[in-house]
Structure 1
Amino acid sequence: MDTDVRAKDFAFPELKPPHVDLRLDDQIVTSVSLGIHTRLQEPKEVDDSIGPPLKQLIVVTPTYNRGFQAYFLNRLGQVLRLVKPPLVWIVVEEKVASFETAEILRRTGVMYRHVVCTRSPSEPKDRGVHQRNAALEHIERHKVDGIVFFADDDNVYTVELFESLRTIRRFGTWPVAMLAPSKNKAILEGPVCNGSQVIGWHTNEKSKRLRRFHVDMSGFAFNSSILWDPKRWGRPYSNPIRQLDTVKEGFQETTFIEQVVEDESQMEGILPGCSRIMNWHLHLDTSNLIYPKGWLLEKNLEITLAIK
């Protein structure tokens, strides 16, 4: 048997797979391709319009148990939720933080702090003074940075006002439209401006002409660091800045402002020319509200109709 395979030629028959037709729903599949389709992510355009972060607004609202309290808080809360963040709403109550008020604040969707004022006022006019002081103490103790604005719950405000507060560097002021106590006319109180420079004051009440600054409580705002960083603003003394309950009604605003600024040169008129009315003080008195027979005023927050 010849076992030498070195010089031999071998020929192998051509091997072909049998022809097979693949059918899917009576259609012949003639080819199958596998591929990975990739797409490079296009670089995102940089938005040059994005500026520095917005200043935080610190809105201080004293409130108390009375008719329409729920309405006032809900109305103000709905305005605040339209304001761009950051914003913190400091709501101050007397003696205890009520469940009803806390529930209203939660429903607004606004970031808030519910503060309690433990000091009892000797007169009704001092209630708001002590409550605002409780908020000022809270801001100072926690060094909450931003622009402080006293917004009573029964006043009317525009969103434009809150957005304008962010332009304030130290102390800003603007005119406020007020319904006279007689309810038969409207008056204007606040600064007269040349651009952003305060050059005078609107005032209509003879009894208040002795005030240094003719401003409504909701007609000014200031940088919170004035409370806890006096050296930054060149304050010669470091006594706490608080509202006074020892002055006559109507003088709380001017005596407070005198602790924050020396004169009009340290003020900024909001907006240029102080020509816009952005909030209204209506002097609404809800202490003598008369409710229809069959209505129950439950904790002065909600009105419930009795079912007969």
Structure 2
Amino acid sequence: MIIENDSIIERKFTTLNAIIFDLLGFLYREVSNAKNDPSVLWKRVTKLEALLSFCRKTLASHDVDCQQRNIVIRARGMEAGDDQTATIFIITPTYKRETQIPDLVRLSHTLMLVPNVFWILIEDAEKPSKSVAKLLSTSAVPGIVLNVATPPKYKLNASSPHWLLPKGAAQRNLALTWLRNNSPKLGHGVVYFADDDNTYSLKLFSEIRSVRKVGVWPVGLAGGQLVERPIVEKGKIVRWLVSFKPERPFAIDMAGFAVNLSLILQHTHAEFKYEVARGYQETQFLSSLITVDDLEPKADNCTRVYVWHTRDSPPKLKGEWALKKQLGISSDYGMEEY
């Protein structure tokens, strides 16, 4: 199966999607206000919904069924260093929880607005789930779903703080292996590790696409700060404005850097490890690829925030537990997960 990443066509469909969503919202509001004949308005809504469905299907057919074993990405004009057409390979570890699907839906809607991306989703599970596969297949974002379980001794307990053990190492490593194994088919691109619960400005992806080696930028709401960021002088990173272990060579959040695919392919042993000191996952990985002097400051010399390390709070489900106790069933009984 071939993906012909035609950014012009993709942008047209993305724009059309956005316009139709706006029109639908307007018409729904008109109906609720009852200022016009509801029957006429609902007919318009139905027509627009049909048009939206057609656009989605057309865009999806332009992309790829990434569950096929043989995947070829043929990007037109993708020469080395051509940042206008470079593919952004998004690596997203994910795990089963109440907010997993809502988080992934939100991220998929962001990625639908970004031309020329390939989304690698890796489930922390021994077996793949139908819900994540269905989410990807219906999102119109080209990508693939992989799965690998975190070794039991590195799994967090429900009561453990989120920072106690490294998360997502096995999943990110599997994605790196997939990229290396499929490198003859991939062309040129940039790799970005995007957690499923972060918030991303579309401006970030323009910064990512232009990365030649390793690009860095600030991350909002990271490390207990409003912003964690590199300090830039004369185009070079001179230090890191962080409170936690600022002496780290790469005192940066996972969301704060992207790596050109060529470096991943050249350094075949570069991977994430569990046996590293707290906060050193990024340093350990980046040290195997590059030196601090070679980092590329992005986001207007690291003065702008385009990504936020947001984290969902566990939902309060007292009513759910009460329902199970009363009726012996859950509220989503008989429903598909997605």
Same fold (TM over 0.5): yes
**Deviation of 1:213 (Å):** 1.2
User: Structure 1 or 2: larger helix share?
Assistant: 2
Alignment partner, residue 223 of structure 1: 260
Aligned residue for 1:200, secondary structure, equals strand
Alignment partner, residue 107 of structure 1: 138
Give the aligned residue type for 1:108. S
Aligned residue for 2:276, secondary structure, equals coil
Pick closer, same or farther for the CA change 1:121–1:130 going to 2, 3 Å. Answer: farther
Alignment partner, residue 60 of structure 2: none
Q: 2:237 aligns with which of 189, 193, 198?
A: 198
Pick closer, same or farther for the CA change 1:252–1:179 going to 2, 3 Å. Answer: closer
Query: C-alpha offsets along residues 2-34 of structure 1, whole Å, 9 cap, x if unaligned?
Result: xxxxxxxxxxxxxxxxxxxxxxxxxxxxxxxxx
Query: C-alpha offsets along residues 68-121 of structure 1, whole Å, 9 cap, x if unaligned?
Result: 10110000000000012x210000012222101111112211001111125534
Instruction: Tell whether 2:188 aligns with 1:157.
Output: no
Pick closer, same or farther for the CA change 1:165–1:53 going to 2, 3 Å. Answer: closer
- TM-score normalised per structure 1: 0.70
Instruction: Tell whether 2:182 aligns with 1:142.
Output: yes
Contact 1:188 1:204 in 2 (8 A): no
Q: More relative contact order in 1 or in 2 (CA 8 Å, sep 6+)? A: 1
Give the aligned residue type for 1:102. A
Query: C-alpha offsets along residues 239-291 of structure 1, whole Å, 9 cap, x if unaligned?
Result: 510011101231101111111112x22110112321110011124453xx431
**Deviation of 1:167 (Å):** 1.2
Alignment partner, residue 99 of structure 2: 68
Aligned partners of 2:218, 2:98: CA distance in 1, in Å? 28
Give the aligned residue type for 2:252. V
Give the aligned residue type for 1:212. P
**Deviation of 1:189 (Å):** 1.4
**Deviation of 1:65 (Å):** 0.3
Instruction: Tell whether 2:147 aligns with 1:116.
Output: yes
Aligned partners of 2:331, 2:223: CA distance in 1, in Å? 32
Query: C-alpha offsets along residues 286-308 of structure 1, whole Å, 9 cap, x if unaligned?
Result: 3xx431424789xxxxx94579x
Matches within 5 A, 1:230-269: 230=267, 240-262=269-291, 264-269=292-297
Aligned residue for 1:67, secondary structure, equals coil
Aligned residue for 1:209, secondary structure, equals coil
Pick closer, same or farther for the CA change 1:256–1:285 going to 2, 3 Å. Answer: farther
Aligned partners of 1:180, 1:171: CA distance in 2, in Å? 21
Query: C-alpha offsets along residues 132-171 of structure 1, whole Å, 9 cap, x if unaligned?
Result: 1111111111114410000000111111101211111011
**In terms of Rg, which structure is larger?**
1
User: Structure 1 or 2: larger strand share?
Assistant: 1
- TM-score normalised per structure 2: 0.64
Unmatched segments (≥5 aa) in structure 2: 1-81, 156-164, 325-329
Pick closer, same or farther for the CA change 1:119–1:52 going to 2, 3 Å. Answer: closer
Give the aligned residue type for 1:171. V
- Give the paired residue count: 234
Alignment partner, residue 168 of structure 1: 211
Contact 1:60 1:148 in 2 (8 A): yes
Instruction: Tell whether 2:120 aligns with 1:90.
Output: yes
Aligned partners of 2:147, 2:126: CA distance in 1, in Å? 6
Identity %: 29
Contact 2:84 2:209 in 1 (8 A): no
**Deviation of 1:178 (Å):** 1.5
**Deviation of 1:201 (Å):** 1.1
Aligned partners of 2:222, 2:290: CA distance in 1, in Å? 28
Aligned partners of 2:235, 2:106: CA distance in 1, in Å? 30
Aligned partners of 1:221, 1:259: CA distance in 2, in Å? 14
**Deviation of 1:54 (Å):** 1.0
Aligned partners of 1:166, 1:179: CA distance in 2, in Å? 23
